Copies of this chain bind each other. A is one copy, B any other.
Amino acid sequence: MPNPVAMDRNDVRIYEFKRIDLKGATIIDGFPSVGLVSSIAANYLIKILNMEHIGIMDSTHFPTVSLIRDAKPLSPVRIYAGRKERNGDQIVAFISEFQAPPALIRPIAYTLVDWAEAQRCKMIVSPEGLVVDPELRDSAEISDTVFGIASTAHSRELLKQNGIQSFEEGVISGVAGVLLNEGRKRDFDVITLLAEAHPDFPDARAAALVLEAIDDLLLGIEFETKPLFEEAQRIEERIREIQKQAIVKKDEKGAPRPSMYG
């Protein structure tokens, strides 16, 4: 952190295209994590639950890019909401393909929690990939386990009730780490779910494991768990394609550039 830049939560704002009641909803943090576990999980939920694009998170510091999907322009950070299900359970997903630069991570996390509180949502869940020591990797013991960390006594109890193994010692960095700290500071339920993931490519298997834990946690939400692994694989392939996609319309660097503005 050699060059701090003055930036606060006001640099990041949420714009709602449509106002809907989100009281009691659970927010899925789909900002990119190791193995893109969060992105795959959030994408799957959006599709399987047929969630609706209800708004965006925006900032003058976000990439100047529009993603075109199904002939419609998408902002770099989108918010989707599902229907309210049994006993009030409902899912909201924040999803993005871009890796936030360090100076934006706190403003993003603060704005997310501010909004969650304002909407009276009940919980934030961050799907995360766990990078295990190469020597221990793929050991039967770890590779099928989902670990959980919770910001409050209440959410720690919730993990316990659902048999999710506690993550005892370690470090969570990025948006998920700040969400946990904010959760503890504000006494708001924030849970990080970790599954072993490969750090170098999108890991659909880890996402599927975390999704099963989410399914357990949210009693009112039920989604097909059978097609999960196959579908996750398809999402994985799609994300890889986007990343390779060379069709960039306006490339600031490559475009011909008048010499007078060296």
Contacts and interface: CB of A to CB of B under 8 A. Distances in A.
Contacts of A56: 181, 185
A115 interface: no
Given A60-B106, A248-B131, A260 B173 contact: yes
Interface in A125-170: 128-133, 149-151, 156, 166-170
Contacts of A174: 64, 249-250, 252
| Most chain B beta carbons < 10 A, residue from A68, A69, A171 | A171
B185 A17 contact: yes
A98 interface: yes
Interface residues of A, number: 100
A224 interface: no
Given A72-B184, A73-B149, 12 more contacts: A4-B61, A32-B257, A34-B251, A66-B172, A72-B149, A73-B177, A73-B184, A129-B250, A174-B252, A176-B249, A242-B258, A248-B260
Interface of A: 1-8, 11, 15, 17, 32-36, 56, 58, 60-61, 63-75, 97-107, 109, 128-133, 149-151, 156, 166-178, 180-181, 183-185, 192, 194, 199-202, 242-262
10 contacts: A3-B3, A5-B6, A6-B7, A33-B250, A63-B261, A64-B106, A65-B260, A68-B167, A173-B251, A199-B256
